[in-house]
Structures are given as structure tokens and as C-alpha cells.
Amino acid sequence: MRQLYRQLLIVLFFALITVAMSAPAIGNMTSHIIGQGGDPWQTLWRFEHKYEALVTALDSGGIGEFTASEFFGRGGERLVNLSVWPWMPVYALFGQPQAYNLVWLLSFALSGYAMYLLARWCIREYAVPSESIAIETGAILAGLTYQLLPFHVAHSYGHFGAMQLQWLPLLFLVLFLWLKRPTTWRTIGLAALITVQTWTEHHYALWFAIATAIIFWLQRAQIKRLRHVVATRKQFLLLVVLLIFITLPSITPTVQLATSDTTLTLGAEQTVRFSADAFAYLVPASFHSLWGGFFNTFFTHRFTGNVTESTAYLGIIPLLLIIFFHHKVPGSQLKLWLTLGVTFWLLSLGPRLHLLGLVTPLPLPYAIIDGWPIFSAIRAVGRAGIVVGMSLAVLLGWVVATQVKRQKFAYLLGVLLLVEFLFLPMPLIPAVLSPAYSATRSLSGTSVIELPAATNYTAGSRALYATLTHGKAVVGNIALERALSGTALTEAQSLPSLRQLLHLRTTHIRQDRNDFFEQDPVETLPDTLRWLDAGGILVHTDSLSVLQLATVRDFLEDDLGLTPVMYDDALLYDTASLLEGAVTDGVFMSRDGRWENVGYDEERDSVFAELTSEASTTLYNVTTRPQAVRLTFTIPDESQGNMLVTAANGATVADVAATAGETVTVTYQLLPGSTELTWRNKLTQKVILQNPVLSVSSNEVSAR
């Protein structure tokens, strides 16, 4: 009982540190969301979206199908995010934003306690007889360091999975216990923790797998002995069975996507960008309460990537203590944690060495595995730094337990650690949605255009959460960039007139520029809205510049004749009257990204587009009858026009063989819906189209 009481006091200590360091969060648990940016909104959406899906499955009797799809990989390759499920009971009890904020606070308190447990076990297991108070003090300071790592704070601003550092120390602790004496309960516990870590943050699960391989190598003599024990082989078999049939299925869709598609592959440039700088481990965080502003220039002008992924500071005090006072740390423990720390430090640096923002040509070990399946899909290599921080915390606990003889010095050290890692006040987001979202529910249609959801990640994430209020899809929402299929996202970003509006291309809109194939934006937008079944346009006035807002209002109100309903932070346009009254031909066209140098040449007063090898256009017919479409363009003097135009079914639409200066007309009987046309260049040099025009003819004419 006394031991339980002591453990509760230690948990309370880490909880109080969390509450104090995260001020003023504790006083705003019901009105604000802890953090900043768009990611917290996405987590709130994920909680409510998955909870509603679970309730629906239970009510409809489809819980078996839901479970198979959500947790056991049924449904094909896709990006899976299960990070909210371990905390779903918290959401069911408290709702939002209280649930998110409680998990946030728990992630800090439990991270400290989990590291305390790991450090205490290591010190007790491998140390020479030592006073219990010294071991406890070292473990507590190890937990305090791990809890307050700037890496942890940076990701707590919005990365719901990455901020949960509590699972890693527990994984290592249970692994060590299992290696010492594998039992059924330890096997189940290890499998359960691996599963939770896999659900919560894929990166950390991969780092743990790599660390496990290193530990097995370092302890290969012990492993060799365990192999001959029948009980060990049985427990290992049980662990493999649990991982294969419970853990792996939940991540299989993401693994399939990572190995068979480029959706998750960011490429070498992005991998380098989001790798850690070698000096990032020595540069204090930009959000430090006292001197963060002084070091902010490193993050804004030196380090690559964003502030969150660039933050890796380990603390000067822990580093100096370990460097100068590690002599009494047992050799096996020093070798283990130094090996893990150095290995993951090298991994976190990515494929090329960064030095204060300078990306050198010097290749690093990660370059060997960068192109491998799975590794090529890792978004942020710098997150391997968490194992560096964990190793540092354990070694600091060792140093304190073996070197610090006076309790007063331990107290002083704790205060210095608090000062070195100070990060209050914590930023907060008002957990209030615009009243315009409630009004959006009553609009017609199944989707809505929301500005600037296609260009502003925070606005897009908030818009995603708001879909739970109005029940409509948000067209081209950047928050769903990695969740939408390539086709859906490409279409949303390529539709004429809408493209300029979504991406707030003020120059194009203010100059009344026509889109590709001379499509008038005023005439085209109503047809685009019909195609998307969009019943309204929601403009967030607090998220646009003065120029952007003025441009959007001029276009929607003066050119299209829409009248907004005004709110303090938004304008809501009901497009029903526009769709009913607009006189259009019901046809428009989009193009893919393979068309080159599309634009207006002022000197020649002409629009040009270049076809190097192959490109495509998609024709849309939003009417209920076939339309005879005419595509007219001129081949300029500097080009020839040998092209083959084919439909999606492979049928030839036109076989163009035009000379310089000749005008070409391609006609096509366009059925209701969408049809993709592929344009293939039959020449070795580029084909140039001058002044292309899309028109609809009442009489079908033959292609020529």
C-alpha cells in the first residue's frame, strides 16, 4: 500500500509540472483547444467522425464490417490513422474540446512517469547497491527531462500522435522485462503496447523496431541462450502470432499504399528538408519563455523544414552532466544507450548532412535506405530524434543516481531543468466555430466552396471539423490532401474558374482573364458549381488579406450578382439563384499538369499552350443531353501540328496533321458527364497551340 501511495505521489508530481508549465491551459479546458495551427482541428474531427461511425455501426448491426475495415485492414490500400482510438472512452465521457485537452495533459504527465519507470528499472537492475533515494531521484529527473523535451513541446502544438511519448519508454521497459523472463502476460503486454504505438504514431513504431534489432545485437549472447529455452520459444511464437493477426492488419493498408503508390512518397528534396540539422540538438527552442526569441532566427532563417520538425534541443545541462559524469554508469548500460542515441541521431539527420541550414553534399547512412519501401514514405526523418532524447534521459537518470550525493543539489538540478525547458504560456485556439457553418447546413447541394480552405491549412482543418456541423463536403480542402484519392484532389484543383477562386489568384480574377480554351469565368463557374453540386460559397473574412477579400467580393457580387449573408468573421453566399438564373452552355473543360507554358503573351496578344509528349483535357457536360463540342486553335508559325486526340476508350477523336499558320477544329459529341481526351504529340519537337477556344455548336460537324 505504501508503495502504491508513493507511485501516486510521483504521478501527481508529473501532473502538477504539466499543469504549471502549460499555463493557462488548465483554466480554459472547456473553451479552448491547447495548441495552434490546423492539426488540433483535424484531431477533433477524427474523434467525432470515428465515434459517430462506431455508433452507426452498432445501431445498424454492422459492427463486424466496421471492425474489419477499421482495425483489420479490409478495404484496400489507404492512409490509416487510428491515433484517437486508445482515447475514445475519454471523448465519450467528456466530449470536445475537453477530451483533446485531457489527452494533451496526460501525454505530458504519463510521458514523465513512463520514463521514470524505465530509468528506475534500468538503475535498479544494473547498478551496484545504492540508496533507494538516489535511484528514485535519478529516475524522477530522467522523467522530468523526457517530459519537457522541446521535441515533445513542439509536437504537442498539434501532432496528436507524435506528442504521445509515453508509449516508447513503456515499450522498452516491457521488452527488457520480456528478455529477462518472458511470460504470457509480458508477451501480451508487449504486443498490446506495440499495437497502441502503431496506431498512435507510425514513425515511433518503426524506430522501436530498429531499436529492438540493435538491442538484440548488443545482447546476442543472452538471446542465444534464451533460444534454447522451450518457454522462451513458446512466448516468442505467441508474440509473433499476436503481431501478425492483431497489430499488422491495422497498418497493412498504409503499408500497401507506401509500397505501391507515390501518394506517401515526398521525394528526396522533402526528405532532406524534414531531416534534422546537426546543430538543432544544441539550439534552444524558439518557444522558450525567456530566450526563445533570440534563437528564433535559427528556425526562420537557418534550419530547413518547419519549426516543429526542426526542434530537437536536448539541453546543455543534461549533455554536460552526461559528458563529465558518466564514469559510474555500468558499461553495458552506457554502451546500450549511447549506441541507440548515436544511431538515431545519425538517422534523424537524413540522407545529407545539414549544418546550420546549409545542406552539404556529404551523404549520411540514411541515404542507403531512403529509397527502400516504407522508408521512402517517411514524412519526417527528424522524428528519429525522439530516441536520442529518450537515451539522454535514461543516461541523465544514471548520472544523478550514481553521482549526486546531496539531495539539495538534486532539487537545484530539477529547478535548472525546469528553467532550461521552460515553455509557458501555451498557445490556445478558441474552440468556437463561425455561426456561418450552422447556416451552411440549410443550403442546397452536397458540397460547399470554402475560402481559403484550399490554400490555408489552418482554415482547411477547421473547415474539415465544421463538416460535422453542416454535413457537406468542402471542395479542394487542403486538409485532406493526403487522404483524398489522386483523381478527386486533382479534379478539385483543376476545374476552370473555380481553380482561380480556390487558390485566390487575385491577378487572374481582377483582370478578368479567361481560362484555358477561352473559358469565361463568369459563364463557367455556374457550370462548375452544378458539377460539384455546390450550394454555397463561404468566405472567411478573418483569414484573407484586404486585397484577396476585395477581389473575391468583386467577382462574386459584382460579376456574378451574388448577395452575401454577413457574419462577424465570414460571408456566406447562397448560389441557388445563380444556378437557376445563369445562362450557360453547360460545358466546360479542365487540363492536367502536363500542358506546358500555358499563358497569355502580351506582345503577340495571344494565348499559347505547349504539348511536349502527352497531356490530357477533361470535358464536362452538366446538361441532360449530348452536346456537340468544338475545340478550335491555330498552329503558330514556329510550330507544326501533328497530334492524335483519343477518348478514354481509345477511340480516335481526331488525327491532326496541320501546318504552320493553319487553324484546326476538333469536334466531339459530348455525352452528359465527364470525358477525358488524351493529346499525343507525333513529332519530336513541341506542338504549340495558339488561341485555343472551346465552343458548343448546335450542329455536329466532323473533325478536321
Q: Which of 42-56, 466-480, 614-628 has the lowest mean pLDDT?
A: 466-480
In angstroms, the CA 119 to CA 329 distance is 12
Chain segment 154-192, per-residue pLDDT in tens: 999 999 999 999 999 999 999 999 999 999 999 999 999
In angstroms, the CA 95 to CA 100 distance is 8
CATH of domain 587-697: 2.60.120.260
> Residue range 340-369: average pLDDT?
94
**pLDDT (0 to 100) of residue 583:** 82
Chain segment 512-533, per-residue pLDDT in tens: 677 788 888 889 999 999 999 9
Q: Would you say residue 272 has pLDDT above 70?
A: yes
**pLDDT (0 to 100) of residue 405:** 84
Q: Would you say residue 486 has pLDDT above 70?
A: no
Instruction: Count CA within 13 A, CB hemisphere, residue 91.
Output: 19
**pLDDT (0 to 100) of residue 702:** 31
Lookup: cell for 223: 538471446
**pLDDT (0 to 100) of residue 700:** 39
| Arithmetic mean of pLDDT over the chain | 91
In angstroms, the CA 569 to CA 437 distance is 11
Chain segment 549-601, per-residue pLDDT in tens: 999 999 999 999 999 999 999 999 999 988 888 788 999 999 988 999 988 88
**pLDDT (0 to 100) of residue 602:** 83
**pLDDT (0 to 100) of residue 701:** 34
Per the CB < 8 A criterion, the answer to whether 105 and 23 are in contact is no
**pLDDT (0 to 100) of residue 383:** 96
Return contacts of 486-493, CB within 8 angstroms, 24+ apart. Answer: 486/263, 490/592, 491/590, 491/618, 492/454, 493/454
Per the CB < 8 A criterion, the answer to whether 677 and 653 are in contact is yes
Coil/strand/helix, residue 47: helix
Regarding predicted confidence, which is higher, 489 or 6? Answer: 6
Chain segment 655-682, per-residue pLDDT in tens: 999 999 999 999 999 999 999 999 999 9
Chain segment 383-405, per-residue pLDDT in tens: 999 999 999 999 999 999 999 88
Per the CB < 8 A criterion, the answer to whether 305 and 273 are in contact is yes
Q: Would you say residue 649 has pLDDT above 50?
A: yes
Report DSSP letters for 455-518, one per residue: T-HHHHHHHHHHHHHH--EETT-GGGTTTS-HHHHHHHHHSTTHHHHHTT-HHHHHTT--BTTT
> Residue range 610-637: average pLDDT?
93
Chain segment 203-262, per-residue pLDDT in tens: 999 999 999 999 999 998 888 887 778 888 999 999 999 999 999 999 999 888 877 755
Classify residue 422 as exposed, middle or buried by CB count within 10 Å of its CB (0-12, 13-18, 19+). middle
* Cell 479546458, residue located: 29
**pLDDT (0 to 100) of residue 421:** 97
Query: Nearest-CA neighbor of 141 among 299, 322, 19, 284?
Result: 322
Q: How confident is the model at residue 614 (pLDDT cuts 50, 70, 90)?
A: very high
* Cell 467577382, residue located: 555
Per the CB < 8 A criterion, the answer to whether 380 and 203 are in contact is yes
**pLDDT (0 to 100) of residue 511:** 67
Instruction: Count CA within 13 A, CB hemisphere, residue 558.
Output: 9
**pLDDT (0 to 100) of residue 489:** 61
Q: Would you say residue 704 has pLDDT above 50?
A: no
**pLDDT (0 to 100) of residue 699:** 43
Lookup: cell for 599: 499563358
Q: Which residues pair with 400 in a beta bridge?
A: none
> Residue range 429-437: average pLDDT?
95
| CA distances in angstroms from 108 to 114, 115, 173, 177, listed in the order given | 10, 11, 18, 24
Cis peptide, bond prior to residue 427, ω within 30 of zero:
no
Chain segment 85-134, per-residue pLDDT in tens: 999 999 999 999 999 999 999 999 999 999 999 999 999 999 866 678 88
Rg (CA), the chain: 30
> Residue range 7-31: average pLDDT?
96
Chain segment 52-82, per-residue pLDDT in tens: 999 999 999 999 999 999 999 888 888 889 9
| All structural domains of the chain with their residue ranges | 2-420, 436-581, 587-697
